[in-house]
Amino acid sequence: MEDVARSYFYNLFTAKDKGNYVFVLSGIDNCVFEGDNLKLTVAYTSEEIREVVFEMGVTKAPGEDGFPTLFYKKCWHIIGDEIRNGDMKVSSFNFTNIMLIPKNSNPLNMMHFRPISLCNILYKILAKAITNRFRGVIGKYIDEAQSAFVLGRLISDNVLLAYEILNTLKKKRRERNDLW
């Protein structure tokens, strides 16, 4: 069963034909301002990491290491500095367990399962700290037309924009038809 699931989801989530991203990126100028780059690359403070840990829900599912968020919160006074200053390589805690959640009451094949990833809490802490850093500058570098996943922008803005464009086109078509 494990081999069937592994093969199915590997084929589903693996790129078949990798494009030439170097060619695509060669047409894009480096555009991160020096001040923003300094903000992004400065060492993380104990307070930044502590804030990430204490924002996380205590019921976050632990990953392969088995340590839940509650452990990090309760033991922060002991392990906090070690987490921030540690020489841990990301590969040492970048393990993820994949769980298959049935989409219906009688799953018969792999299409009837939804995979979820159970990442180690340390990995989640790292990812959230990086996200928090980017949150302060990303709006400058993502075009205003990209309205999802940027703080202060709503995906519904694009729906409204599409509606307005369609209305304008219909109005112009009616005006053109009225001329004839």
Question: What is the residue range of 162's domain?
Answer: 144-180
Residues 103 and 176 in one domain: no
Q: What pTM does this model have?
A: 0.70
Q: For residue 115, is pLDDT > 80?
A: yes
Annotate the chain with DSSP letters as a single string. -HHHHHHHHHHHHS-SS---HHHHHHTS-----HHHHHHHHSPPPHHHHHHHHHHS-TTPPP-TT---HHHHHHTHHHHHHHHHH----GGGT--EEEEEEESSSS--SGGGEEEEEEE-HHHHHHHHHHHHHHHTTHHHHS-TT--SSSTT--THHHHHHHHHHHHHHHHHHHHHHHH-
Q: What per-residue confidence (pLDDT) applies to 61?
A: 74
Residues 161 and 82 in one domain: no
> CB neighbours (10 Å) of residue 49?
22
Residue of higher predicted confidence among 44 and 15:
44
* Reported confidence tier of residue 70, pLDDT bands at 50, 70, 90: very high
Residues 7 and 21 in one domain: yes
Distance CA 164, CA 158 (A): 10
Residues 23 and 70 in one domain: yes
Residues 26 and 57 in one domain: yes
Residues 54 and 72 in one domain: yes
Report the number of distinct structural domains present in the chain. 2
Distance CA 49, CA 36 (A): 20
Residues 178 and 118 in one domain: no
* Reported confidence tier of residue 87, pLDDT bands at 50, 70, 90: low
Residues 86 and 152 in one domain: no
Residues 104 and 163 in one domain: no
Q: For residue 179, is pLDDT > 80?
A: no
Residues 6+ apart with CB under 8 A from 147: 153, 154, 155, 156, 157, 158
